[in-house]
Amino acid sequence: MRQALAQWRYVIAENPLTGFAFALFTLFVTVALFAPFLMPHSPLATHAADALRPPGGAYLLGTDQLGRDILSRLIAATRLDLAIGASAVALAFVFGVGLGLIAGYYGGWADRIIGRFTDTLMAFPLFVLAMAIVAALGNTVTNIVLATAIINIPLYARMARVETNIRRDAGYVAAARLTGNSEARILLGHILPNLLPIMAVQTSLTMGYAILNAAGLSFIGLGVQPPTPEWGTMVSEGASAILSGQWWVAVFPGLTLLLAVFCFNILGDGLRDVLDPRNRT
């Protein structure tokens, strides 16, 4: 633990951008956890008399076309978007890494079947595939999570397959076989732990893409439906207001989305620097 903290301090000192990304991550998680206590107004309450008020006064970031407080809606949307992204990445991680472990360890027909499955998924433009899944199943939060997870499974499966294939004949795996460990125990107890540092980096990178994918679906009307606050939906609702000068309706949700994706992408680089054994020498 002490060594990990020291490595974090070294990485942040060498690259302040990583420290900024970690601070952003902490801020997003804090806002998501304590959203009900941080919202100054109800995110769903409409006030026709206060419609399209500019930032300032009682409405720090202004109001939208229905007089709803943008800051409160951004805070509520943070909890929803992070939950969608985290759930989708968790599903993609479990199924993708599981398939990759089987393909890389056993090879043969298992490798061929799983390889063809992932190749088929990756043959489609991923966002178009997500659109098709949500359009077919219905635009609920559950289906958005499912679609986002499905399009990310091939990435985890391929990475896990390659890393497992490299390690299946390693000395510690051979020793585990000789001592009578079952195949499942070797996979879960010896190979999987050695994949986790690499997968942790990929998880951070995928989190940003998952959030962007969910926002993109909402922007085109296939994601979270109004009046539920969600970053992509808020940008879509505010796009028309930009032309008439009410820029704050779309700009603040757009900036929040930008910062979230930036945060997870840079955080992935920081995790790589911390978890890579070559950086500890």
CA angle 213–219–221, rounded 5-degree value: 105
The enclosing domain of 270 has a CATH number of: 1.10.3720.10
Task: Note down the domain range covering 107.
Answer: 83-280
pLDDT of residue 9: 67
Domain membership flag for residue 190: yes
Query: H or E stretch including 149?
Result: helix 141-167
Kindly list the averaged pLDDT for each block of 10 residues, start to end, along the chain of length 281: 61 73 92 94 91 91 93 95 95 95 92 93 91 92 94 94 89 86 88 87 90 93 90 91 88 94 85 60 49
| The pLDDT of residue 277 | 52
pLDDT of 4:
57
The three-state secondary structure class of 207 is helix
| Sign of the Cα pseudo-torsion (236, 70, 68, 210, in order) | positive
| Nearest CA-CA partner of 199 in 239, 233, 158, 170 | 158
Does a structural domain hold residue 170? yes
Could you count the other beta carbons within 10 Å of the beta carbon of residue 189? 12
pLDDT in tens, 246-276: 999 999 999 999 999 999 988 877 777 666 5
Alpha-carbon distance of 237 to 235, in angstroms, equals 6
- Distance CA(218)–CA(212), nearest Å, equals 10
From CA 167, how far away is CA 104, in angstroms rounded? 9
- For residue 63, the cross-strand partners are 69
Q: Answer yes or no: is 107 within a domain.
A: yes
Residue 50 maps to a domain: no
Residue whose pair of structure tokens reads 């893409």 in the numeric block: 209
Asked, for residue 55, whether it belongs to a domain, the answer is no
Residue 157 lies in a domain: yes
pLDDT tens-digit map of 155-181 = 999 999 999 998 888 888 888 888 888
Residue 196 is assigned to a structural domain of this protein:
yes
- pLDDT number for residue 270: 73
pTM over 0.85: yes
Q: Is residue 34 part of a domain?
A: no
Contact 81, 230 (CB under 8 A): yes
Q: Which residue has the tokens 């890393």?
A: 163
Q: Which of 267, 220, 242, 237 is nearest to 74 (CA)?
A: 237
Domain count, the chain: 1
Strand partners, 56: 59
Contact 279, 9 (CB under 8 A): no
